[in-house]
Amino acid sequence: MMINDNSNKNLLWKQTTLLVNSTIEQAVQILNQVGLKIVLINDKNGVLQGTISDGDIRRGLMNGLSLSSPIEKIINYQPLIVPPGIEREMVVKLMTVNKIQQIPIINEEMQVVGLHTWDEISITNIRANAMVIMVGGKGTRLHPQTENCPKPMIKVSGKPILEHIINRAKAEGFVNFILAINYLGNVIEDYFGNGERFGIKIEYLREKTPLGTAGALSLLDPLPTSAFIVTNGDVFTDIRYGEVLDFHNRNNGMATMAIKLHEWQNPFGVVKTDGLQIIGYEEKPISQSYVNAGVYVLDPSVIKLLRKSSKYDMPEVFTILQEMNELVIAYPSHEQWTDLGRLEDLVRLEKKSQDSSKENNETY
């Protein structure tokens, strides 16, 4: 999610500015009156010189300065700053790592154009866009685990895979979920209900027969009024659903597919030939290709192209749109991603989750 350059809608940050030749008393007045816990120190041209916090003032007074002393002795001349348009998640990380609650936004002329504050940046905006999760598959490759339990309900770190997906989306502001169910769908519906227990709204698309990874969308009634997320229910990923949605909207596409770079190393040396002649040799080369990450954004009009209750897989939908010369977009993802199609994938993910929890416990 990209942050608006004027992140404080009421521009309250403008009241925190002070000229570099001011006194500590004037800085104290701003801290008390404005309440943003920071003073932005500029020169006469509006160029940022540094910042002052209440901690800077306290340390100055303890070192023998008075309220009438010039602020130049307590200014932090190397504050952390960010450019306009930086992603919200990066600002949160910077604040967390540096243990600060304010970061000035600076343009190319080093002039302040805004201020990120923890109170503002940590609030997640609610997204009205629907999120459809395909959870109707049988998960045959995960037998016997899926004989009496649908794959999305298999637990990782004590919670069903589907709950992890919903919690991640909820943390990004999504509150309207639609679950496409078929195989053992009653197990999913009994656990999640209408979503009230999770602070969200959940509706269901009940497939009478398996409809693939996209066919259930033909059952949507009423149609979404804006672009919506679709994800497979067996994809465990750190992909930011909100960022994929924003990316789709910025590029005005009909459909967007998140893709992931996959690397595969040939276990053998590869011999290159021209007829009988050997012309080259490469030891265990690494091949790269982009794969479908199972996360999509669709325009509502796409649903009208699907025959009701007919089976479609999502790549087929993209092919239909391409043949119609509609704009379909790739969203390159670099985040962690696991397709839980095989038992070894599930075992590896569970081990990784356990190792991560152990590291966090040791850290804290």
Domain boundaries, the chain: 12-121, 127-363
What is the pLDDT, as a whole number, of residue 359?
40
- 127-363 has the same fold as 12-121: no
The tokens of 220 are what?
């949507």
Query: C-alpha 13: how far from its chain's center?
Result: 27
Query: Count of alpha carbons within 13 Å of 92, Cβ hemisphere only?
Result: 12
Architecture of the domain made up of 127-363: Alpha-Beta Complex (3.90)
Whether the predicted pLDDT of 351 surpasses 90: no
pTM score of the predicted model? 0.65
H helices then E strands: how many in the chain?
A: 9, 18
Domain 12-121: CATH superfamily, name plus number: CBS-domain (3.10.580.10)
Report percent pLDDT > 90 for the chain: 53
How many angstroms separate the CA atoms of 44 and 104, rounded? 18
Residue 54: band (very low, low, confident or very high) from pLDDT cuts 50, 70, 90: confident
Query: C-alpha 311: how far from its chain's center?
Result: 30
Give, in degrees to the nearest 5, the angle at Cα 363 between 361 and 364. Answer: 70
**pLDDT tens-digit series, residues 285-309:** 888 788 899 999 999 999 999 999 9
| Residue that has been written with the tokens 């003073």 in this structure | 39
**From the CA atom positions of the chain, what is the Rg in Å?**
27
Give the Å distances, CA to CA, from 137 to 140, 141, 166, 303, 359. Answer: 8, 11, 18, 20, 34
**pLDDT tens-digit series, residues 217-265:** 999 999 999 999 999 998 888 888 998 998 899 899 999 999 887 778 8
